[in-house]
Structure 1
Amino acid sequence: MKSLIQGTLCLCVAALATTANVWAGEALITAQVQGSTFVNTTPKASYCNIFASGRSCQNLWTVDLPVTYRKLVDVRSGDDRDKVYIKLPPRQALTLQNQSTGQTATMSIAFQDVSQRVSYLHERVVGTRPINCTANGGLIGGPRYSQFLWYTTNTTNPPACISDKAGNAQVEDSEFTLSGVSFRPEFPAAASLAPGRWEGVIDYPVGMGQGFDFGNLVSTDASVIRFRVRFEVLHEIRVDFPAHGTQVELTPDGKWDTNRNTSRVPRRLYHDSPLRLWAGSPFSVYLACEYPSVTRDCILQSDLNTHRVPASVAISLPGSFVSDGQPVARLPLLERVENARIITPTATATNAPGTLHFEVDGAGTAQMQRYPGAKYSGAITIIYDANP
Structure 2
Amino acid sequence: MKNEFRNTTPLSGVCAWHFPAQCERMGIFSIRTENFVTAPTAIEADHQDVRKGAMWQVPSSWRTVQVTHSGTGEVADVQVRIAGIGHRFDTRPNTMAWEVPETYWTWKWMYAPAPCASSGFLTGNNAYALFFWLVPEGAGVCSRQPGQNITHFWLSTFEFAYALKTPNPLTMSPGQYTGSLTYSMGPGMDFDFGDVVIPADNQLTLNFTLNVEHILKVNLPPGGNRVELLPEGGWQAWLNRGRRPSRLLRDQTFTIAASGRFKMNLECGLVIGNTCGLRNGEGDQVPLQVAVTLPFGLNDQYDQVVSKRPLRLDGSGTELIQAKHYVNQRPGTLHFEVDKDDMGGMLEKPGSTYSGMVTVVWDSEV
For the criterion TM > 0.5, the same-fold answer is yes
Alignment deviations for residues 243-263 of structure 1 (CA, whole Å, 9 cap, x no partner): 774432112344222234788
Find the counterpart in structure 1 of residue 353 from structure 2. Answer: 375
Q: Shift of residue 43 of structure 1?
A: 0.8
Aligned residues: 348
Find the counterpart in structure 2 of residue 44 from structure 1. Answer: 11
Out of 150, 158, 166, the position equivalent to 2:133 is 150
Q: Which runs of 5+ in 2 are unaligned?
A: 99-104
Out of 358, 362, 366, the position equivalent to 1:384 is 362
Q: Shift of residue 336 of structure 1?
A: 7.0
Find the counterpart in structure 2 of residue 140 from structure 1. Answer: 123
Equivalence map 1:1-388=2 (5 Å): 36-51=3-18, 54=20, 57-59=23-25, 60-64=28-32, 68-76=36-44, 78=47, 79-99=49-69, 100-120=71-91, 122-124=93-95, 127-128=105-106, 129=108, 130-132=112-114, 133-141=116-124, 145-152=128-135, 154-155=136-137, 157-172=138-153, 174-177=154-157, 179-216=158-195, 220-236=199-215, 245-260=224-239, 266-274=245-253, 282-289=261-268, 291=269, 293=271, 295-302=273-280, 304=281, 309-317=286-294, 322-325=299-302, 328-335=306-313, 341-344=319-322, 354-362=332-340, 364-368=342-346, 373-385=351-363, 388=366
Q: Shift of residue 36 of structure 1?
A: 1.6
Secondary structure at the counterpart of residue 74 of structure 1: strand
Q: Shift of residue 313 of structure 1?
A: 1.0
Question: 1:300 touches 1:311 (CA, 8 Å); kept in 2?
Answer: yes
| Cα separation, partners in 2 of 1:240 and 1:143, compared to 1, 3 Å | farther
Sequence identity (%)? 25
Secondary structure at the counterpart of residue 203 of structure 1: strand
Find the counterpart in structure 2 of residue 13 from structure 1. Answer: none
Q: Which runs of 5+ in 1 are unaligned?
A: 1-33
Letter in 1 for 2:248: L
Find the aligned partners of 1:55 and 1:35 in 2 and give their Cα distance.
19
Find the aligned partners of 2:260 and 2:355 in 1 and give their Cα distance.
34
Q: Taking structure 2 as the reference length, what is the TM-score of the superposition?
A: 0.75
Find the aligned partners of 1:97 and 1:292 in 2 and give their Cα distance.
46
Find the counterpart in structure 1 of residue 102 from structure 2. Answer: none
Alignment deviations for residues 45-103 of structure 1 (CA, whole Å, 9 cap, x no partner): 24445535x55544532234685131333342524334332211031231434414434
Q: Taking structure 1 as the reference length, what is the TM-score of the superposition?
A: 0.72
Secondary structure at the counterpart of residue 149 of structure 1: strand
Q: Shift of residue 116 of structure 1?
A: 1.5
| Cα separation, partners in 2 of 1:48 and 1:306, compared to 1, 3 Å | same
Find the aligned partners of 1:66 and 1:89 in 2 and give their Cα distance.
20
Find the aligned partners of 2:348 and 2:57 in 1 and give their Cα distance.
86
Q: Shift of residue 232 of structure 1?
A: 2.0
